[in-house]
Amino acid sequence: MSDEKLRLFTNHTDTVVAHRLSDVPAIVAQQYGSTFEEEGWTLDEWDEVDENKSITIRNVNGNGWDDVATKTAAEWASEHGRGFLCSTEW
């Protein structure tokens, strides 16, 4: 287990929780089943989200956009843990 702080990183479509930017490709590959190289992506397209930024995530269920939560980036990182957090695409 890493002692590094978890942070949010985004390419402004997908958002992941990781210890550092270099973790992002592995997390995205696990989520989508394809590598950065296969998709033509680079880490240059990803930014760290300020830990104090408020982020609202809507969870889709069978009835539409019913579940909405707003937390800071630091709160999302702490509560969610390392992994894929959300996407604007689905």
Given a cut of 90, whether residue 76 has pLDDT beyond it is yes
Three-class SS state of 1: coil
Percentage of the chain lying above the pLDDT 90 cut: 76
User: Are the C-beta atoms of 7 and 49 separated by less than 8 Å?
Assistant: yes
Q: Compute and round to an integer the Cα radius of gyration of the chain.
A: 13
Per-residue pLDDT reduced to its tens digit, 22-61: 999 999 999 999 999 998 899 999 999 999 999 999 876 6
Token pair of 43, please? Answer: 């880490």
What pLDDT sits at residue 2?
A: 53
For residue 50, CA distances in Å to 1, 7, 32, 39, 63 come to 23, 9, 25, 26, 32
Residue 46 has what pLDDT?
A: 97
